[in-house]
Amino acid sequence: DVKVTQSSRYLVKRTGEKVFLECVQDMDHENMFWYRQDPGLGLRLIYFSYDVKMKEKGDIPEGYSVSREKKERFSLILESASTNQTSMYLCASSLGDRSTDTQYFGPGTRLTVL
Amino acid sequence: KNQVEQSPQSLIILEGKNCTLQCNYTVSPFSNLRWYKQDTGRGPVSLTIMTFSENTKSNGRYTATLDADTKQSSLHITASQLSDSASYICVVSASLNYGGSQGNLIFGKGTKLSVKP
């Protein structure tokens, strides 16, 4: 079974702090994704990566950056956390880039920025 | 603008009853439509996927239908169980090309289903 793990289930940070969210997948997937999920808005794509050291902006990249130094690990970075970044963050991975390839999601990190 | 609309927003049913969730989309080009189940506090898990040429797909008590002409899909749950309580998310792939397609998914906002004993 594919396993996608995220470093924290719950995180509380203060405004202005630098925040790192880590995601690891164990199935040698090429693609990895970061989404945020907010009530009434559904899932929105922040960034994704097709390969090591490659990244593409999603729909809402502002205020975020990412890093993919190893194939199995994809990090989301909030350079200076703000209260409007309080959200559920979901990481996903997929084997390849066919539109039918399934995205497998991690359990999510609920981030609260005070 | 590519959009996926789901209805109802929320639904409460009694255990053992059937229910149907709806998904309407305006996405072009259309590649496939997937239903995900998301338990509270967990990430979404894929239930079914249908391409343009498929009009029904089953996964146990879950049956998804697709009408590509009217751009509508439904997810029917038979003999509901307490464990079916979750959010159900409809996702449409807006790409026919290999390359870039995985980043081109349009997510619905989900239907929150509560199954009561």
Confidence of residue A76 (pLDDT cuts 50, 70, 90): very high
In order of A12, A90, A103, B111, the CA distances from B73 in angstroms are 39, 25, 20, 13
Mean pLDDT of chain A: 94
pLDDT at A96: 81
Band of the pLDDT at B89, cuts 50, 70, 90? very high
Phi-psi region of A108 (alpha: psi -120 to 50; beta: other; left: phi over 0): left
pLDDT band at B99 (very low <50, low <70, confident <90, very high): low
Which two tokens mark B40? 């509270």
| CA distances (Å), origin A74, targets A64, A71, B43, B109 | 13, 8, 17, 25
Beta-strand ranges (E) seen in chain A are 4-6, 10-13, 19-25, 31-38, 42-49, 56-57, 65-70, 73-78, 87-94, 104-105, 109-113
Structure tokens at A22: 């880590």
Chain B nearest CA to A23, separation (Å): 13
Q: Cis bond leading into B44, ω under 30°?
A: no
Per-residue model confidence (pLDDT) at position B28 = 84
Identify the residue whose tokens are 């998914």.
B105
Residue B96: closest C-alpha in chain A = A99
Whether residue A41 is predicted with pLDDT greater than 70 in this model: the reply is yes
Residue A100: pLDDT over 70: yes
For residue A99, give the nearest of B43, B101, B107 by CB distance.
Answer: B101
Q: Is pLDDT at A101 greater than 70 in this prediction?
A: yes
A89 contact B CB<8A = no
Span A60-70, mean pLDDT?
Answer: 96
Pick the residue of A21, A51, A99 with the most B CBs within 10 A to test the interface with B by mutation. Answer: A99
Interface check A98 vs B, CB under 8 A: yes
pLDDT-derived band at B55, boundaries 50, 70, 90: very high
